[in-house]
Amino acid sequence: MEKQESMHSFSRRSFIKGAAALGAAGALAGCSAQGSNLAETGGPVPETKIFAGACRSQCANGCYVNVHVRDGQVVRTTAGKFDDGPEFNRICPKGLSLPARVYSSERLQYPMRRIGERGEGKFERISWDEAIKEITDKWKGYIEEYGPTSIAFFLGSGNTGTLGGPAPEGSIMARLLNVMGTSRVLPDRDIATPMSHTYMFGPGAHGHRAADTVNGDHFIIWAGDTAVSEKQRTHFFLEARDRGADLIVIDIAYRTMAGKADKFIPVHPATDGALALGIIHEVLEQGWEATEFLREFTEAPFLIKDDGKFLRMSDLGVAPTTTTDAQGKETTVDPWVVWDEDTQTAMPYTEATKPALGDVPDINGFHVRTEMDMIREAAEPWTLERASEVTGTSIEDIKYLAHLYTQEGNVMTDMKYGLNHYNNGMYTSKCINSLLLITGQMCFPGRGMYTGEGNFGEGNTQATISMPSASGEKPRGVGATLNWTDFCNIVQTGKKMGKDFPIKSFYAVCTNIVSNQTEQNETIKALKAIEFIVIQEMTMNDTSLYADILLPACHWFETSDLRVRYYGNPYLLWNEKAVEPLYESKPDADIYRLIADAMGYGDFFQFTDDEYLNVLLSTPWGKAHGVTIDKIREKNYLRCEVSGPVAHPNGEFYTPSKRASFYREDPKPDYMMGQELDIEKEKFTLFWEPAREADLDNPIREKYPFSVCCEHMRTRTHTQWYDVDYMKEFEKQPVCRINPEDAAELGIKEGDTIRLYNDRGSVTLLATINPGEQRKALHCPRSFLTREHIDGDLATTTFNDYNQACRNQSYFDCAVAIEKL
């Protein structure tokens, strides 16, 4: 579907000037120093065609983008228009500068082989045939000698397209991995907060959608800077504010959203769990808890015996029965018991009319406590004074939040990744989830978490992955799933939990792991220990420098794809091919197929793109609503409202009991790397402990007095857009924001060159004095490549250990000392 546009509005000349400046910045071997693509042709001005596109970086918004093409060149981008959802017609400066990425001097132009040291950036040009042959010859040898798990695939998040991008679980790269049975390395990002939701509410979508913002009286943005990170949604908050709702921001620094808020509540880094406990303490002290909500929709009345197990009907002599679940699996039914206040008897929770929240007598010889008893006990020590001391939040503000959550109507809470990026992120998030349940701020219009649009999700990924080959052979499945830190250890030692585990080759697509995984020096060490590295990329970023073979992928606008994964708008977006791939770059999907063919797996890829996408779209909802790729292509977008505006409507959760849970008798860590495990910490959701280095009381802070939040940048999505010079007009180079009093103590002035360092690494950057920063806490916008730093790299300072039960990289849990240079 092409649309026509008459073109007057755009100044061709100014664009060319910008693009030429980019070209002049040309750098490393294999990158283009070009500008000729945009040279003036003279003669009549050709017509402009508009193609449907999407901004496919993993910024969570996934904007619909019009791609304007003239003379076979992308000349500009504008916001696409949904005729059935104008509230989602948005684009940010990154989306508007996408043409500069297409014509960036950093683009990889042709396949290359390393000729220098790893990381040095010396490559020689080779042909596609040579590249594919070299990769697949090596891989065949490794498979023969060490098995397919000796090849490790890393599926990044740089492109949310389905055919090319590895991010959707059902992408063609994911299929290749499953067909070959290789190892899969998990990025281990953004895990803690979502895991806390699944833990307490069950697997599924937990967020209210934008349409429900009309019902909120108060909006709390908890640890997020949505004006920077979620541009599709921020206007909903601002419109609610215009209607009279108030906007409250809880953050460690006064940032963009704080500037737009009615109230800013500061908190010490990573202490939000303690803040939630302090609020809960005050709520219980005042008797403001949502008793009926807790009784009806949560497991608060469930009974726990002294051995830590739930009291069930089998404890009362009723034999368990069996039933068949939705998947056809036989399961045992042994209902949880509650104490019914109306009848003063113990009975299955589904039968009680008034389940008791406390004061339950011994039952059948068992001493029991309700989950609510445990909540009271856990909150008991968190007096206003103690909570205030730990969090730095004033007693007044804690009381304000307790009152707001219970006495002033509907509260919407937007829990963001500032909570997630610490070692204690899951505990913190569980405490806040608990607060929402205890105050009944979930499940109803205007009351709930606000985490994004109803998700079509990633589609029927099981079906795309397990589709048999043309000759009926089944893919063998993932050979081994490795956590990132596990992977780093395995490549160094050759062993996984004491057993031999050779990894010979690493293949990464759509990710810049050198910049984005924690503890950069460990990442580099791991890469150096691997025999053969293949990187499939658009740019010569920090990770490309470590490739043995570099495969140039084309830009999003140079191939067609379906953007399926999204959070910012409720649409499936068809992205048309707008221009031909530049240089010798190829669509990612074509590269996967070339590799598959050469590996002898061509039989598994005998489908057209459309056939593949239709399988992916065949989710139960997709089938019920007739979602096909042709239907999406009618307008190039299709609105999919898989869930209503309110999550968990009428108090129904996705847990086995259908109630929100505060306690698990048998919690499981989400990874096993032979770590020591104190499982008691994982059972109850009001457990909280301080973070690691972000904890002000950690003795390490004597040596390294400052914590560093290396946050997401306005002008980049992770490291993408580093190649766009326009964006550097706003954020030129790495800086460190520091509180004025801290700066004065260290004799640091605006613009001084300073070095942040710890035992793991160091970075040299410019200081900027900012009264919005609290003392002993710094903010450094991240996403700069090593070569953009004066010296070192911010990514060298973070640590890569995990919480005992949650495989989460803790980007912000990092302490440094400062040296003025």
- 210 in contact with ligand SF4 (CB under 6 A): no
Minimum CB distance to ligand MGD smaller for 440 or for 452? 452
Q: How far is the CB of 95 from ligand SF4 (least distance, A)?
A: 3
- 162 in contact with ligand SF4 (CB under 6 A): no
* Amino acid (1-letter code) at residue 554: C
Work out what residue 743 binds among ligand SF4, Mo ion, ligand MGD, none; the CB cut-off runs from 5 to 8 Å by kind: none
- Note whether 719 and 515 are within 8 A (CB): yes
Beta strands 532-537; 505-509: pairing state? parallel
Tokens coding 253: 């620094």
3-state DSSP call for residue 512? Answer: coil
Distance, in Å, from the CA atom of 239 to the CA atom of 225, rounded to the nearest integer, reads: 17
Distance, in Å, from the CA atom of 249 to the CA atom of 630, rounded to the nearest integer, reads: 43
Among 233, 648, 659, 714, binds ligand MGD (CB under 6 A): 714
- 511 in contact with ligand MGD (CB under 6 A): yes
- 451 in contact with ligand MGD (CB under 6 A): no
- 55 in contact with ligand SF4 (CB under 6 A): yes
Distance, in Å, from the CA atom of 318 to the CA atom of 377, rounded to the nearest integer, reads: 31
* Amino acid (1-letter code) at residue 234: T
DSSP state of 106: T
Distance, in Å, from the CA atom of 25 to the CA atom of 250, rounded to the nearest integer, reads: 41
* Amino acid (1-letter code) at residue 45: V
User: Quick one: which segment of 53-61, 139-147, 382-390, 441-449 binds ligand SF4 (CB under 6 A)?
Assistant: 53-61
Among 59, 228, 313, 554, binds ligand SF4 (CB under 6 A): 59
Query: How many residues sit in the footprint of ligand SF4 (CB under 6 A)?
Result: 12
- 533 in contact with ligand MGD (CB under 6 A): no
Q: How far is the CB of 578 from ligand MGD (least distance, A)?
A: 14
**Residue 487 CB contacts under 8 Å (≥ 6 apart), including other chains:** 152, 183, 185, 503, 526
Distance, in Å, from the CA atom of 284 to the CA atom of 296, rounded to the nearest integer, reads: 18
List C-alpha distances in Å: 313 to 60, 317, 318, 431: 45, 7, 5, 30
- 719 in contact with ligand MGD (CB under 6 A): yes
Minimum CB distance to ligand SF4 smaller for 28 or for 96? 96
List C-alpha distances in Å: 88 to 52, 62, 513, 640, 713: 15, 10, 31, 13, 22
Minimum CB distance to ligand MGD smaller for 56 or for 496? 56
Please name the residue that has the structure tokens 């949904």. Answer: 82
User: Quick one: which segment of 185-193, 230-238, 474-482, 758-766 binds Mo ion (CB under 5 A)?
Assistant: 185-193
Among 397, 682, 711, 813, binds ligand MGD (CB under 6 A): 711
User: H or E segment at 176?
Assistant: helix 172-180
Distance, in Å, from the CA atom of 291 to the CA atom of 679, rounded to the nearest integer, reads: 29
Among 32, 34, 48, 58, binds ligand MGD (CB under 6 A): 58
x-or-dash string of contact with ligand MGD, 753-792, rule CB under 6 A? -----------------------------x----------
Please name the residue that has the structure tokens 């000037």. Answer: 17
User: H or E segment at 485?
Assistant: helix 484-493
- CA angle, residues 129, 131, 134, in degrees to nearest 5: 105
- 418 in contact with ligand MGD (CB under 6 A): yes
* Amino acid (1-letter code) at residue 690: P
- CA angle, residues 504, 798, 114, in degrees to nearest 5: 35
User: Quick one: which segment of 234-242, 365-373, 410-418, 641-649 binds ligand MGD (CB under 6 A)?
Assistant: 410-418
Among 52, 220, 253, 438, binds ligand MGD (CB under 6 A): 253
Work out whether the CA dihedral 265, 269, 273, 278 comes out positive or negative: negative
- 190 in contact with Mo ion (CB under 5 A): yes
Taking the CB of residue 129, how many other CB atoms lie within 10 A of it? 11
Work out whether the CA dihedral 5, 11, 13, 14 comes out positive or negative: negative
- 556 in contact with ligand MGD (CB under 6 A): yes
- Note whether 76 and 99 are within 8 A (CB): yes
Phi and psi for 450 in degrees, rounded to 5?
A: -120, 100
x-or-dash string of contact with ligand SF4, 213-242, rule CB under 6 A? ------------------x-----------
Among 52, 69, 74, 91, binds ligand SF4 (CB under 6 A): 91
- 255 in contact with ligand MGD (CB under 6 A): yes
Among 32, 34, 48, 57, binds ligand SF4 (CB under 6 A): 57
Work out what residue 541 binds among Mo ion, ligand MGD, ligand SF4, none; the CB cut-off runs from 5 to 8 Å by kind: ligand MGD
Q: Specify burial of residue 731 (Cβ count, 10 A radius: 0-12, 13-18, 19+).
A: middle
3-state DSSP call for residue 702? Answer: helix
Minimum CB distance to ligand MGD smaller for 100 or for 252? 252
Distance, in Å, from the CA atom of 479 to the CA atom of 166, rounded to the nearest integer, reads: 17
x-or-dash string of contact with ligand SF4, 551-590, rule CB under 6 A? ----------------------------------------
Please name the residue that has the structure tokens 């080959």. Answer: 469
Phi and psi for 639 in degrees, rounded to 5?
A: -75, 130
Minimum CB distance to Mo ion smaller for 190 or for 742? 190
- 512 in contact with ligand MGD (CB under 6 A): yes
Q: How far is the CB of 768 from ligand SF4 (least distance, A)?
A: 24
Distance, in Å, from the CA atom of 217 to the CA atom of 61, rounded to the nearest integer, reads: 25
Among 812, 813, 815, 818, binds ligand MGD (CB under 6 A): 812
Q: How far is the CB of 204 from ligand SF4 (least distance, A)?
A: 25
DSSP labels for 267-311? --TT-HHHHHHHHHHHHHHTT-S-HHHHHHHBSTT-EEETTSPBP
User: Quick one: which segment of 55-63, 373-381, 526-534, 682-690 binds ligand MGD (CB under 6 A)?
Assistant: 55-63
User: Quick one: which segment of 249-257, 294-302, 397-405, 640-648 binds ligand MGD (CB under 6 A)?
Assistant: 249-257
- 62 in contact with ligand SF4 (CB under 6 A): yes
Minimum CB distance to Mo ion smaller for 207 or for 301? 207
User: H or E segment at 174?
Assistant: helix 172-180
Distance, in Å, from the CA atom of 501 to the CA atom of 149, rounded to the nearest integer, reads: 8
Minimum CB distance to ligand SF4 smaller for 62 or for 301? 62
Minimum CB distance to ligand SF4 smaller for 636 or for 810? 636
Q: How far is the CB of 189 from Mo ion (least distance, A)?
A: 5
* Amino acid (1-letter code) at residue 260: K
Among 32, 34, 48, 61, binds ligand SF4 (CB under 6 A): 61
- 711 in contact with Mo ion (CB under 5 A): no
Q: Which of residues 260-289 bind ligand MGD (CB under 6 A)?
A: 267, 269-270, 272
Minimum CB distance to Mo ion smaller for 37 or for 198? 198
- 690 in contact with ligand SF4 (CB under 6 A): no
Please name the residue that has the structure tokens 């040296």. Answer: 819
Interface with ligand MGD (CB under 6 A): 57-60, 156-159, 164, 189-190, 222-225, 228-229, 250-253, 255, 267, 269-270, 272, 416-418, 421, 509-513, 516, 536-539, 541, 553, 556, 588, 709-714, 716-720, 782, 795, 798, 811-812
Residues that bind Mo ion (CB under 5 A): 190
Contact residues toward ligand SF4 (CB under 6 A) are: 55, 57, 59, 61-63, 91-92, 94-95, 231, 717
